[in-house]
Structure 1
C-alpha cells in the first residue's frame, strides 16, 4: 500500500541545512568530551584545545556513525535542492542573452553538484582509510564550492537584464546575503590556511586548534551561503510529495 507524505519547501530546506550543523556540533562535542587527548594530538606534541573536523568525524565512534548517517540522510535532499535551484534560475524571464545565460547556469550548477559529490567522498572515505582520496576530495570540495559561490554572485551582480526590468527588494537582499556569506567563507579559508602554515612550520601550542576553529567556520559559512535559498523560496507554497510503501 502506498501513502503520500507532504512536506513544505521550507520544512524540506530546514531539514537539509540543519542536519549538517547538528552533525558537526555533535561530532566535535563528543570528541571533546570522550576523546579529547587523542583527537587534539598532533605530530608536534604541543597542547591544543580543539580537534580537527577530520579527526572528529573519521577516527572515533560513535562520531563516525553520526556523521555518516546525517550525510546519508542529507545527501538526496541537497541534490534535489541543487536541481530545483537550477530549474528556478533557468526560468527567469528578465535575463538578457538567454542562450549564454543557460550555458553559464548549467556550468555553475555542475560546480554545485561536484561540490556535493566531493563532500560525500570525504565523508565516507576518512583520512586514516585512504588519505590521498580524502585530501583530494577536501581540496576539490573547497574549490568547487568557491567557484559555485563566486559564479552565482557574478551572475547576480553583473549579468545584463532586459531593459526596464530592475532589481526588486528581495533580489537585492538575496544577492547581498550571498555576498556576505561568500566574503566570510573566503576570509575563514584564508585565516585557517595561515594557522595551518604556522602549525606545520613552527609547531606552536594551540595554533592547530585555531586552524580547527576556522575550519568549523568555513563549513558553517558554506552552509549559511546555501541556506539563503530559504529566503528566495520563502514566499512559495511548494509541496514536496514522497511515496511511502
Structure 2
C-alpha cells in the first residue's frame, strides 16, 4: 500500500471515529423524556413529601394537587430536577427549531416561507421563556415568572397553529404527524380555556378542590405541548442525529 493510500485510510478511520450517530427517532424520544419524566417526578414528589405546602393557596381551602409552579419551583429536589431537565433539553430543542426552518424552506420557498420564519422565531422564544420560568421560580421571582409563563403560553400556541398551517400544505408528506399535531393542539387549546376558568373561579369564590382542577387542566396543557413537540419523531424519520467534534447535524440514513 502506498503512503498516500495508507494516509487516506488512516484519515478515514479518524473521521469515522470522530462522531456519534444516533437515530433521529431515538433522539426525539430521549429529548421528550427529560421534561416529561421530570414533570411527573416533581408532581408525585410534591404530593408525597411536600403536600401541605404544595397545595396551599391564599384561600386556605382543601386541595389535592399542586400547581405546576409549586411542583417545579417551590421545593427541593423538585426544583433542581426540573431545572436540570429543561437545561438538557434546551440545546436539542434549539437545534430542531433550525432543522424545521431548513425543512420548511426546502418545501415552501419562496411561497409562504415567512410563515416558517415566524414559526421558527416563536419556537426560539418559547424555549427561552421555558428556561426563564424554570429558573425564576414564582415563589422568589413572581413578576419575572409570570411574564415568562405568559410569553411561553402565547408563543407556544401561535407556534403550534402556524406549524399545523405549514404542514397542511403538504398533507401527504405529513399525514401521520399532522394528524397527531392537530389532536395535541386541540387538546392544548381546550384545556387552556378550562384552566383559565378554574383559576378565575378559584380566585373569585375560594371553593375547595377548584384549584386542584385548575392544576389538573394545567398538567394537560403542558403535557399536550410536550407531545406536540414529540411529533418531530415522525417529521425526521429515516434521519440520523450526528454529533461531530465541532458541531452536530441531521443527515439522511
Same fold (TM over 0.5): yes
Give 1 or 2 for the bigger CA radius of gyration. Answer: 2
Q: Figure out how many residues of one structure are paired with residues of the other and give that number.
A: 231
Deviations 1:96-127 (A, max 9, x none): xx324222211111011101110110011001
SS at match of 2:208: coil
Please report the TM-score for the alignment, with normalisation by the length of structure 1: 0.89
- Asked whether the equivalents of residues 188 and 224 of structure 2 are also in contact (C-alpha less than 8 Å), the reply is yes
CA distance in 2, matches of 1:56, 1:242: 37
Aligned pairs (5 A) from 1:13-24: 13-24=28-39
Q: In structure 2, what is the equivalent of residue 89 of structure 1? A: 104
Aligned pairs for 1:81-160 (under 5 A) are: 81-92=96-107, 95=108, 98-157=109-168, 159=169
1:218 matched to 2:239? The reply is no
Partner of 1:51: 66
- In the TM superposition, what is the alpha-carbon distance from 1:154 to its structure 2 partner? 2.2
Contact 1:5 1:243 in 2 (8 A): no
In the TM superposition, residue 242 of structure 1 has moved relative to its aligned partner by 4.4
The structural deviation recorded for 1:227 is: 1.0
- Given the alignment, which residue of 95, 106, 113 partners 1:80? 95
Deviation at 1:148? 0.5
Structure 2 Cα separation of the partners of residues 239 and 51 of structure 1: 37
- Match of 1:241, SS state, is strand
Q: CA deviation at 1:172?
A: 2.5
Query: TM-score with structure 2 length normalisation?
Result: 0.86
**How far apart, in 1, do the equivalents of 2:96 and 2:72 lie?**
25
The separation in 2 between residues aligned to 1:242 and 1:47, in whole angstroms, is 53
Aligned-partner Cα distance in 2 for 1:206–1:30: 20
Q: Mark the runs of 5 or more structure 2 residues left unpaired by the alignment.
A: 1-16, 247-253
Distance 2:62 2:241 in 1: 51
- 2: distance between equivalents of 1:143 and 1:49? 28
2-structure distance, mates of 1:216, 1:222? 10
- State the match for 1:238 in structure 2: 240
